[in-house]
Structure 1
Amino acid sequence: FDYWTQPVGWALGVLLSGGTVAAVLALTGRIGARRQVQGTIESITDYPALRVLETTVELDAGWPGHAAGQFAFVTSDQTEGAHPYTIASAWNPADRRLTFITKALGDHTSRLRERLKTGMRVTVEGPYGRFDFEDAQPHQIWVGAGIGITPFIARLKHRAAHPNTRTIDLFHTTADYDQAAIDRLTADAAAAGVRLHVLVDDRDGRLNGERIRAAVPQWRSASLWFCGPAGFGQALRADFRANGLPPERFHQELFQMR
C-alpha cells in the first residue's frame, strides 16, 4: 500500500488510468469516431483483367478534406469492421466525392466485387497518412508499382486542378494490363502535365533504377516517391542511394494494410 503513496506509484496510477480509458474507447469503437462520415456508394467500375475495383462514394457533410496520397478506413459491413484504402481522388468540397481503388489481394478485397452495391451506405474514417509529395526539388520521379499507382492518380487529379512548374516523371509498372485503365491513366497524366512511362512486365521487362536514370537524365536533382511492394521499394532505395541520391530524397509509402 505504501508504494502507491510514493511519486512512482502516482505516476504508475496515471498511466494505468490512461490505459484503461484507451481500452474502453477501443472496445466501444469510439477511436476515430470524430473522423467518421457516412456516405453512399455512387458508382462501381470493375477492371477484371487487373482484379481491381474503382468505387466512388458520395459523402454526407462533415469530411474535413484530404491531401493526395492519404488513406481512409471504410466500413461497408459492420461484422467485418473497417478496412483501410488509399484515396484515389483529389478533394473537391463542391461535390464531396471520394474514389477508392482496391485490388483483390486478400480474402476481404477478393469479396468486394460481390458485396459492394451502388446505393449502399458506408462509413468513411480519416483522412490519415503523410505521403504528401511536398519537398523543394524542381523535379520529382514517381513510381507506382501495381496497385501502388493509387496515390499518384489522386495527385495527378490534384495537379490538373492546381498546376505548377515542377517537372514530373511517373513510372507505372504492372504485371496485369487493361487498356481502358491505361487510357484513363494516360489522360490523367496528360491533363496534369506529367510524363508517363508504362511498363508491363511480360512485354517490357522489370523496372529498375538503371532504367529510371536512363529515362530521366536530371534524376540527380530530383526526389523519388515510391508506392508498391515493400521489397521493390527497398531495392530501389538501395540502388539510388548507391548511385548518389541523398537518402532523404527517397520517399516510400509505408501503408501496407489492405
Structure 2
Amino acid sequence: MYSGLLGLGYMGLAVLLAARFRWVEEKVKGLDKSYKLHKNLGIGAMVSLFSHWLIIKSGQWLVGSGILQRPSRGPQPEIEGMNWHAIAEHVGDISFKVFLIFSIISLVQAISYKKFKFTHKIGGLLMFAGIFHTVLLLDWNIGTIPMNIAIAIISIVGIWCSWLSLSGSIGKKNKADGKVGNVKAYAVQSDQNMAVRFSINLESDISYKEGQFAYLNFHDGESPHPFSVLNFDAENRLIEFGVKDLGDYTHKLVNNLKAGQKVTVEGGYGSFQIPEFEKQVWVGAGIGIVPFISRLYWLKRKTEKQQVKLKEVHLFYCVNSEKEAFFRNEILSLIQRLDFIELHLVNAESGEPLDSVQIIEKVKSKNFDICFCGPQQFGEILKTGLNAAGVSENRFHTELFKMR
C-alpha cells in the first residue's frame, strides 16, 4: 500500500507541474526547473509503481509455487452485485503496463516532439485509472486514516489537473490570439533561410518579464512550441521573436512563415531574469542571444527613466561564422545609449571558441555574475572552467530550456 501511495504521490505532483500554474512556477523557480522536476517525478513514479506491482505479484507467484499458503481474506465486498475490488485490481494491472510503455516513450529522445506531446496526453487518463484503482482498494480503519487523507488530497489535485490537460485548458488564462506582422528572414546561402525575426500583433495583454519565453501555436496541426521572446512592447501589444533552424519544425517555420498568419501566444514563462550585480557577463550562443536582446530592450527603457544600477556588462555573442551573427547590428544599435555594455563577437570559424580564460581576460576580474543561454554542453564546459578559475558555481545562471 505504501509503495502504491508513493507512486500515486509522484504522479499527482507530476500532473500538478504539467498544469503550468504561475504560483507553482514561482515555487520551483521557473518553468524550466518545473519540467526537469516533472521528468524526475515521472521516473520516480515508474520505479515506485514497478516496485508496487512486483510486491503484489510476488505474493501470487510464491503461492503458485507452493512456497507460501494463500491467506484467508474472506469474501470480497460487492456493490450492486459487482466485485469492484477485483475490477480495481484488474484496472491497476492494465494501467501499470500502459504506464510503463508511456514512460519509455516519454524518455526516448528520438521520438518527435509532436508525437511526444500527443502520447503525453495519455498521462491524464493514467492518473484517472490510478485514482480509481487506489480509492476502491482503500482500507477503512482508524490506522489508515492519515494515509486515506493523503490519498484524497492527491486524488483531488490529480483529477483537477488531469481534466485541465485532457480538455486542453492548460495555460488558458495566459493565452492571447494575434497575427504575424513583419517577417525578416536571414540566410547564409541563397537556397534556404537559417533564422527568422518576426513580430506578432496581439489582441489582448499577456504577463511578461524580460528574458522569458512563450509557447506559439500557429494552428497548423503541430503542438505549441516554446520560443524565447526577443522584445515585448506592452503599450502596443507587439511581441517579437527570433527563431533559428534547429530541426524539422523550426526548419518549416523559418522557411514558410508569412505575415498575416494567425497565432496564439501563451506566456510568458521562465525565470531567466538577470541579477542586479554591478559587474556581469552575458553569453548568448547562436539563437541563445535572443533573451539578452530582450534584456537590452528592457534596459533601454529603464535608462530613459534613469533606473539602471549596472556598472559593467560584457556581452559575448557566440556564432559559428560572422555570416551567422544575424542580430549584431540590432545589438549595436541598442547599446549606443547603454555605454556600460561592451559587445564581444566570438566567431568559432576563426579557431578561437569562447572559453573561461577569454572571459576572465576580457573582464579583468573574477568578481562577476555570468548568465548563459545556449547549448547545454557548452554551458557546462564554461561553468566548469570558470569554477576551476575561482568563479563560484552560484554565480553562473542559466535556464534549462528543455521541455521533455
Partner residue of 1:123? Answer: 264
| Contact 1:41-1:120 within 8 A present in 2 as well | yes
Equivalents in 2 of 1:113, 1:180: separation in Å?
Answer: 14
Partner residue of 1:16? Answer: 155
Change (3 A) 1:97 1:4: farther
Partner residue of 1:86? Answer: 228
| In the alignment, structure 1 residue 72 sits paired with structure 2 residue 214 | yes
Once the two structures are TM-superposed, the CA of residue 20 in structure 1 deviates from its matched residue by: 2.1
| In the alignment, structure 1 residue 172 sits paired with structure 2 residue 312 | no
Secondary structure at the counterpart of residue 158 of structure 2: helix
Which of 346, 351, 362 matches 1:215? Answer: 362
Partner residue of 1:53? Answer: 196
Equivalent residues in 2 for 1:132-171, closer than 5 Å: 132-135=273-276, 137-163=277-303, 164-166=308-310, 167-171=312-316
Partner residue of 1:225? Answer: 371
Deviation above 6 Å: which 4+ runs of structure 1? none
| In the alignment, structure 1 residue 25 sits paired with structure 2 residue 164 | yes
| In the alignment, structure 1 residue 111 sits paired with structure 2 residue 252 | yes
Change (3 A) 1:114 1:180: closer
Unaligned runs of 5+ in 2: 1-136
| Contact 2:279-2:368 within 8 A present in 1 as well | yes
Structure showing greater Rg = 2
User: Which structure features the higher share of helix residues?
Assistant: 2
Residue correspondences, number: 254
Change (3 A) 1:176 1:4: farther
| Contact 2:243-2:254 within 8 A present in 1 as well | no
Once the two structures are TM-superposed, the CA of residue 78 in structure 1 deviates from its matched residue by: 4.8
Once the two structures are TM-superposed, the CA of residue 182 in structure 1 deviates from its matched residue by: 2.1
Equivalents in 1 of 2:345, 2:272: separation in Å?
Answer: 22
| Contact 1:4-1:10 within 8 A present in 2 as well | no
Change (3 A) 1:2 1:116: closer
TM-score computed with the length of structure 2 as normaliser:
0.60
| Contact 1:42-1:58 within 8 A present in 2 as well | yes
Change (3 A) 1:243 1:9: same
Once the two structures are TM-superposed, the CA of residue 63 in structure 1 deviates from its matched residue by: 1.6
- Alignment root-mean-square deviation, CA: 1.9
Partner residue of 1:3? Answer: 139
Secondary structure at the counterpart of residue 233 of structure 2: coil
| Contact 1:47-1:181 within 8 A present in 2 as well | no
Which of 171, 184, 195 matches 2:342? Answer: 195
Unaligned runs of 5+ in 1: none
Once the two structures are TM-superposed, the CA of residue 10 in structure 1 deviates from its matched residue by: 3.5
TM-score computed with the length of structure 1 as normaliser:
0.91
* Percent of matched pairs sharing the same residue: 30
Partner residue of 2:85? Answer: none
Once the two structures are TM-superposed, the CA of residue 101 in structure 1 deviates from its matched residue by: 0.6
Change (3 A) 1:118 1:246: same
| Contact 2:205-2:234 within 8 A present in 1 as well | no
Once the two structures are TM-superposed, the CA of residue 4 in structure 1 deviates from its matched residue by: 4.5
Once the two structures are TM-superposed, the CA of residue 93 in structure 1 deviates from its matched residue by: 2.2
Equivalents in 1 of 2:350, 2:138: separation in Å?
Answer: 74
Partner residue of 2:237? Answer: 96
User: Which structure features the higher share of strand residues?
Assistant: 1
